[in-house]
Amino acid sequence: MSEEKTFEQMLEDSLVSIHRGEIITGTVIGVNEDEIYVNIGYKSDGVLPKSEYSNYPSVKLLEEVKEGDEIRAKVLKVNDGDGQVLLTYKRPQADEGLKKVEELYKSKEEITAKVNLVLGGGLVVIVHEVRVFIPASLISDSYVTDLQAYKDQEITFVITEYNTRKNRIIGNCRTLIEAKKNEHRDEIFGQFKVGDILDGTVKNITDYGAFVNVNGVDGLAHISELSWGRVKTPKDVVKVGDVVKVKVINVNADKKKISLSMKFDDENPWNIAEDKYAIGNVVNGKVARMTDFGAFIELEIGVDALLHVSQISVKHVEKPQDVLNVGDIIEAKITEFDLEQKKISLSIKALELEKQPTEEASTEEAPTEELPVEELSAEEDVVEDASADSEGTKTEEV
């Protein structure tokens, strides 16, 4: 005769059995700001903490779920220590989300999501409960200085790297930005013509020049095009953020390059140099740099002249450095001017030679006075008499 089951045994049999890692479906029976309580048909209810519901710390459970909702969750612990079953909602969602994210990666579909976390090296966004990392270098097509500006903002990107083994899923905004710019680049480049004078903003500075953004396109102003004068480094002329006026000097639509200049023809000092620095003019200038064969003298910004070592002084000079220093102000004479080659030659020696005859004349002794003819004849008679006496004396002695 079979034993009759007690009520407790029948109740136990009516309950489902669960184990860790199992995916179950339950009904929400209670919710507060921090937890969701779920009837899972087990002897204990399931508890779903806020941190296991979503990766977004700002999520509001009271707005997300309500009593009576069905929820699919994964068992983390059969007994959480308080006799309840610990559940997670976000993890099974992430498992399913990985498949969706993989599809997005393969299709290169654009994704728009809110920034969940700002890190030192980039941004974290959540896509189907999957964390996607966007490095700082891939946020924009230009350097990003303030990542905090993206906090809680929506951004659009594509997934360009998907590697679940390394837990590495990378998003990329820059690819989309560059692609959209390229769509309109031909149209944009058609707007530029050589000779156009436009306003632009300095975006980047290198050793060889400055990149200036003009109408959404970055053009290069080479170091030689930043000033009519000699430029040691572009940073001496411009800084990032400066709004500058530039002239388009070359457009290469095929290579998508624009060459710019900050040198304007009406400011060219050589326009009036022919009269200002005519041969024979005496000018003042500053020693700008020196070589073994001479010194380069800056007459004004953009106009340099050569003072050859042989023209530094009337005295022999071995090297310019022996008598000159960079920064010295000198006075010299223009001895050669070539407008076509933009060459001017100077001479200090020429000035010294011009002054020499006057100085020598002032130091010469006064010439001896010529004697009158009568006096000269008398002197000659005296000399002849003296000579005769001398000869007579000698004869007598003999």
The residue ranges of every structural domain in the chain are 8-88, 94-177, 191-266, 269-356
pLDDT at 290: 93
pLDDT 10s digits, 241-263: 999 999 999 998 778 889 999 99
* Cα maximum dimension of the chain: 201
CATH number of 8-88: 2.40.50.140
CATH 2.40.50.140 fits 269-356, yes or no: yes
Question: d(Cα 123, Cα 168) in Å, to the nearest integer?
Answer: 14
| Least confident segment among 132-136, 186-190, 285-289, 303-307 | 186-190
**CB 37 within 8 Å of CB 74:** no
CATH 3.40.190.150 fits 94-177, yes or no: no
Which residue's structure tokens are 């023209």?
A: 311
Residue 152 scores a pLDDT above 60: yes
pLDDT at 183: 74
Q: Which residue intervals of 152-235 are DSSP H helices?
A: 174-189
Q: How confident is the model at residue 8 (pLDDT cuts 50, 70, 90)?
A: low
Average pLDDT over residues 122-149: 91
Q: What pTM does this model have?
A: 0.42
Q: How far is CA 347 from CA 299, 303, 314, 334, in A?
A: 13, 16, 10, 7
pLDDT 10s digits, 316-372: 999 999 999 999 999 999 999 999 899 999 999 999 998 876 555 455 444 444 444
**Three-class SS of residue 242?**
coil
Residue 48 scores a pLDDT above 90: yes
Note the CATH architecture for domain 191-266.
Answer: Beta Barrel (2.40)
Comparing 191-266 with 269-356, is the CATH topology the same? yes
Residues 6+ apart with CB under 8 A from 33: 50, 60, 61, 62
Q: Which two tokens stand for residue 356?
A: 């020499």
